Amino acid sequence: MRVFRWMLVGLLLSFGAITGARAQTVEIEYWQYVFEARIKAMDELIKRFQAANPTIKVKHTTFPYADYQTKIAAAMPAGQGPDVVQLFYGWLDNFVGAKFIQPLPQDAFPPAMIEKEFYGIVTAMKRNGEYYGLPTAVRSLGLFYNKNLFKEAGLDPANPPKTLDQFLDAAKKTTKRDATGNMLSEGVTLDFPGQDYHWWREVLLRQMGGAPYSADNRKVTYDSEAGVKALNFYADLQRVAKVGQVGFMDEGQAAFRAGRAAMTIDGTFRLGSFGGIKTFEWGVTELPASADGTRSNFASYWVNAITTKPTGAKLDAAKKFLVYLTSAEAMQVWLDTVGELPARRAVAETQQNLSHPIYAPFLKALAYSQATVFVDESAQRQVSLDMINRVLIQNQDAKAALAEAAKSEQAILDRFYKK
C-alpha cells in the first residue's frame, strides 16, 4: 500500500512537472513566401533553434509569393499573423507605416554592432536611428559568361572582361548573325525587365559619375549628363554595336541557358537555375569596371522582422529566434541550402568563400553594392521599362527619355512621401 501511495505521489509530481513545462512552452509563428530552398533552409534552422531552446516552439507558415503581402495585410489587423516575418527590403516603409513591425530591441541588436558586422547595404533598414529588420542573406549581381562561346571566339575563358571596354570587345567578338543580319547568338543579353534596369540605374549611372536619387531618396537625380551617357551606353549595345537584341529568345536568362548568349548579367538567385546547365561550361565574374576603375553593384535582400503582435514571453522568444536567424550559423546554413550570401562580413568573407569560383565575385561586389530604396517597386520599374522602350523602339533621344522618366518617377516618390 505504501509503495502504491508513493507511486501515486511520483505520478502526480511528474504530471505536474510536465504540465508545468508545457505551460512555459511559448509558440511563435514565422511567415515567409513559398520557395522550396528557402523553406528547406528555414525548417533546418527551426529544428536547430528548437533543440537549443526547448521551451520555444516555432510554427513555420508559408504562402505563395503572389498572395504573400495580401495575406499579411489581412491577418495583422485581425490580430492573427506572424510574430516574426520575412519581408522584402523595399516593403519596409509600408510595413512600418502600417505599424506591422516594431523596431528591433536595442539590447539584442545594438545599431553599432549591426553597422560594424553587417554589410553597409543593411542601413536601408534604419529609420530614425532604429533598425526594423535584418537579413540572413543578401544577393548581388554578376556577369555570367559562356566559356565555350568565349573559346570559339578566340577569347580566354580564364580571363573574362574586367572593364566596360573589354566587355564591349568580348560582346562584339562573340555575337553571331546569319547572312541577312538576323541574330543567331548574342554577345550579351539585353533584358531590361530582367536585371538590366538595376545594372543601368545603380551601376552604369554611377560609373559615369551620376547618382539615381538624392541622399534622402526623395528626389530623382538621374536626369543628368551621366544619365545620358549611361543610357546611351546601354542603348548603343543594340543600336550601334548590335551585340544584343531586346526580346531575343524571349528572355535574357533563356538565351544564356540555351547557349545562345555569350554573356548575361544576373543575380545570385539565378545560380540554382544555371547550375543545371549541362551543354556548356560557364563562369561568373564581377560586373565590369569603368575605365577609371569605378565599380558598383546592386544588392537586394529579404529581412526578418518582429511584428507588433508579440508581447511578454512571446516577444522574448521572437527576439531569441531573430538573434538566431541572423547568427553566423544560420547564414552558413542559408548559403549552403539557398545559395544566398551571408549578410555578416565575417561569415561571408572566409578564405573558403573568397576563393570559391562562383561565390567570390558576388561577395566582392557586396563591398561596393547599393540597395535602392523603392517606394513602389513595380511602378518605378515600369518607368524604367518605358524609358528604354521609348529609346529603343521609338528612337527617342536619351535626354528627352530621361527627363520624361524622371518626371514620372518623381511623381511616384512625391505621392508616397506626401502621406
Residues that bind other proteins (CB under 8 A): 66, 69-70, 73, 94-95, 97-98, 100, 178, 180, 182-184, 191-194, 245-251, 260, 376, 378-379, 382, 385-386, 389-390, 393-394
Cα atoms in the 13 Å half-sphere on the side-chain side of 26: 16
Considering beta carbons, is residue 76 or 318 the nearer one to other proteins? 76
For residue 265, the minimal CB distance to other proteins (Å) is 15
- Nearer of residues 56 and 92 to other proteins, judged by Cβ: 92
Cα-Cα end-to-end distance for the chain = 77
Residue 145 CB, nearest approach to other proteins (Å)? 21
| Closer CB to other proteins, 62 or 382, in the complex | 382
Question: Considering the complex, what minimum distance in angstroms separates the CB of residue 54 from other proteins?
Answer: 36
Taking the least distance from each CB to other proteins, the nearer of 46 and 75 is 75
Q: Closer to other proteins at the Cβ: 68 or 324?
A: 68
Q: Which is nearer to other proteins, 62 or 69 (CB)?
A: 69
Q: Which is nearer to other proteins, 329 or 386 (CB)?
A: 386
Residue 85's nearest CA partner among 137, 124, 33, 144 is 33
For residue 325, give every residue at least 6 positions away whose Cβ sits within 8 Å of its Cβ, in sequence order, or none.
45, 84, 134, 136, 304
Evaluate whether 131 touches 114 at the Cβ level (below 8 Å).
yes
- When the beta carbons of 50 and 102 are compared against other proteins, the nearer one is 102
Q: In what order do the strands lie in the sheet with 300-306?
A: 56-63, 26-33, 84-88, 300-306, 134-139, 341-342
The CB-of-58 to other proteins minimum distance in angstroms stands at: 25
The residue among 328 and 379 lying less far from other proteins, judged by its C-beta, is: 379
CB of 81 to other proteins, least distance (A): 12
Q: Minimum CB separation from other proteins for residue 385, in Å? A: 5
Q: 350 or 416: whose CB is closer to other proteins? A: 416
With a CB cutoff of 8 Å and minimum separation 6, the contacts of 196 are 190, 234, 252, 265
Task: Report in angstroms how near the CB of residue 238 gets to other proteins at its nearest.
Answer: 11
User: 221: which 3 cell numbers?
Assistant: 537625380
Angle between helices 398-418 and 377-392 (to 10 degrees): 170
Smallest distance from the beta carbon of 235 to other proteins, in angstroms? 14
CB 345 to other proteins: min, Å: 33
Amino acid present at 279: T
Q: How far is the CB of 111 from other proteins (least distance, A)?
A: 25
